[in-house]
Structure 1
Amino acid sequence: MALSREQIAMRVAQEFKDGSYINLGIGIPTLAANYVPDGITVMLQSENGLLGMGPYPTEEQIDADMINAGKETVTASTGASIFSSAESFAMIRGGHVDITVLGAFEVDQNGNIASWMIPGKLVKGMGGAMDLVAGAKNIIVTMTHADKHGNSKLLDQCTLPLTGVNCINRIITDLAMLEIRDNAFHLLERAPGVTVEEIKQKTAGKLVVDGDVPEMQF
């Protein structure tokens, strides 16, 4: 069975390391704030100027002035810092973000990502995506494996305008977790109940399967 948005976020959060500075992009990535594993401390950064973002608020915790880059209300964790977007981007561009989690329209086997524009459709702008893929040490993409028409979003070469080149390390989709290396997608884990054959059918780029592929654990 394909993973839900929340399950993708849960699996992403398992990749967080104690003491890391992590930027969560708009969409599925922001959900990961709710699933930081027990026993570790991370600082979640939002590009609009919040370092120390906490989980989504309860009804009693909502503060209309405390928002993330997607204009959703959030909470601030103990020790959080609020600053200007200029300082936030200085942090990103200065290489001080350990992990960036982004959504994407397409990724390819060379580690390229297209995440900001579909020609002919309304585009608000790239936002901080280009800065994030250039400045972070480790980039994880969350996305559905295929689009609503069943076309693979994991390609041999991206067809949409690129956000970054040769920068993606890992991808977590609703079907699998994959790592990009040696110009190929390497299958690391599969969603519970999803077969390797199904993942092969929905991966247009080069897919490498080494031995038995374990199911994700939650």
Structure 2
Amino acid sequence: MALSREQMAQRVAQELRDGFYVNLGIGIPTLVANYVPEGMDVMLQSENGLLGMGAFPTEETLDADMINAGKQTVTAVAGASIFSSAESFAMIRGGHVDLTVLGAFEVDVNGNIASWMIPNKLVKGMGGAMDLVAGADNIIVTMTHASKSGESKLLSNCSLPLTGKGCIKKVLTDLAWLEIENGCFVLKERAPGVSIDEIKEKTAGELIVPDYVPEMTFA
């Protein structure tokens, strides 16, 4: 069974480490803020100028002026800092973010990512994605494995305009955890109940399947 958006966020949260500075992109990545392991010291960064982003607010904690880069209302943890977007992008471009989690339309076997534009469709803008992929070494892409029409998003070559070249090494889809190695997708984990045959069928780029592929576990 394919992972829900919340399960995908939970799986990404397993990659967090104490002391990390983490940028969460728009969409599924923002949900990771709700699953930071208890007792772990992680500072979530938003490119509009917030370091120390917390979980989404309840009605009691909602502050309409406290928003993330996707204009969603968020909370701030103790010790949070608010500053200009210029300073925020200086952090990103300077390589001071330990982990970046982004959504995408397509990823290919060369580690290229397309995440900002679909031709003939209205797009609000590329946001900070190009800065994030250029300034980060540790990036996790989260997306559905295939489109609603069943077309694979894991390709030999991206067909859409690129956000960045050769910058992606880890991809979490609703079906699998994959890593990009030597021009191939390598299947590391599969969603509970999802068969390897389904993953093969929905992966257009070259896929390497080890002898043993464990199912993901959620605490």
Which bin holds the TM-score, normalised by the shorter protein? over 0.9
Q: Which residue of structure 1 lines up, in the alignment, with residue 77 of structure 2? A: 77
Q: Which residue of structure 1 lines up, in the alignment, with residue 56 of structure 2? A: 56
Q: Which residue of structure 1 lines up, in the alignment, with residue 24 of structure 2? A: 24
Between the aligned partners of 1:128 and 1:2, the Cα distance in structure 2 is 29
Q: Which residue of structure 1 lines up, in the alignment, with residue 104 of structure 2? A: 104
Q: Which residue of structure 2 lines up, in the alignment, with residue 134 of structure 1? A: 134
2:188 is aligned with 1:188: yes
2:152 is aligned with 1:152: yes
Q: 1:185-210 CA deviation, whole Å, 9 max, x = no partner?
A: 00000000001111000000010011
Cα RMSD after superposing both structures:
0.6
Q: Which residue of structure 2 lines up, in the alignment, with residue 113 of structure 1? A: 113
Q: 1:96-121 CA deviation, whole Å, 9 max, x = no partner?
A: 01111000000001100000000111
Q: CA deviation at 1:37?
A: 1.4
Q: CA deviation at 1:39?
A: 3.3
Code of the residue aligned with 2:121 in structure 1: it is: K
Between the aligned partners of 1:34 and 1:26, the Cα distance in structure 2 is 14
Q: Secondary structure at the match of 1:164?
A: coil
Q: Which residue of structure 1 lines up, in the alignment, with residue 202 of structure 2? A: 202
Q: 1:42-80 CA deviation, whole Å, 9 max, x = no partner?
A: 110000000000000111000000000000000001110
Code of the residue aligned with 1:15 in structure 2: it is: E
Q: Percent identity?
A: 77
Query: TM-score, length-normalised on structure 1?
Result: 0.99
Is contact 2:137-2:167 (8 Å) kept?
no
Matched residue count: 218
Q: CA deviation at 1:19?
A: 0.6
Between the aligned partners of 2:108 and 2:169, the Cα distance in structure 1 is 11
Q: Which residue of structure 1 lines up, in the alignment, with residue 86 of structure 2? A: 86
Query: TM-score, length-normalised on structure 2?
Result: 0.98
Deviant stretches of 4+, over 6 Å: none
Q: Secondary structure at the match of 2:198?
A: helix
Give the unaligned 5+ runs of structure 2: none
Code of the residue aligned with 2:215 in structure 1: it is: E
Give the unaligned 5+ runs of structure 1: none
Q: CA deviation at 1:211?
A: 1.1
